[in-house]
Amino acid sequence: MKKLASTFPNMVISLTVITIVAATALAGVYMLTKTQIEDQANQTKIEAQAAVLNGQEGQAIEVEADGFGGKMRVMVGLAADGTILGYEILEHSETPGLGDKAAVWFKDTKKPNQNIIGRKAGNLTVSKDGGEVDAITAATISSRAFLKAINSAAAQVEGCSGATQVDGCAEATTKVETEDHHE
């Protein structure tokens, strides 16, 4: 087989063919895995809803805030009175070893100044800003974003409860009630 001459038009044609083949392969893999990825995301949400409620009646609310590295999505479990029952971080782009510590930092029962479980959500701020919650060391921006997400969940519950319903409350909050099963 004769080798193509190294001319500009031949290079453009070669690169175009390679790009089309690569794009087609990528699209094919995406189409094959799209449903599985969506199913996994839904399963993660269901598991997070159960985890944040800790077997108690309340609402599991998915909220988002801008962290240091990008969007932080958090599932928050709140009792009717706004008490935090639990939380799970669904997605984040925070710095590994720093901002990603939020997944466990604010649940540490041995450190009451950083533990938010059992506190009322709504006005939580880091101690650096005059609040009562210790920020993650060297990750104050991530800590602020996390607490902003928690406070946002409380605002959604407050706006969706009572006689007046705010537009979008049904989508914004997912009420999950637990039942006692006796065998």
Render pLDDT for 112-146 as a digit per residue (tens, 0 to 9). Answer: 999 999 999 999 999 999 999 999 999 999 999 99
Q: Residue 114 carries which DSSP code? A: T
Q: What pLDDT sits at residue 183?
A: 33
- Residue 29 C-alpha from the chain's centroid: 25
Q: Kindly tell me if the per-residue pLDDT of 13 is higher than 90.
A: yes
User: Burial of 2 by CB count in 10 Å (0-12 exposed, 13-18 middle, 19+ buried)?
Assistant: exposed
| pLDDT (0 to 100) of residue 161 | 54
Per-residue pLDDT tens digits for 49-66: 999 998 899 999 999 999
Q: How far apart are CA 130 and CA 83, in angstroms?
A: 21
Strand (E) or helix (H) holding 164: none
Q: Is the pTM of this model over 0.85?
A: no
Among 152, 144, 139, residue whose Cα is nearest residue 96: 139
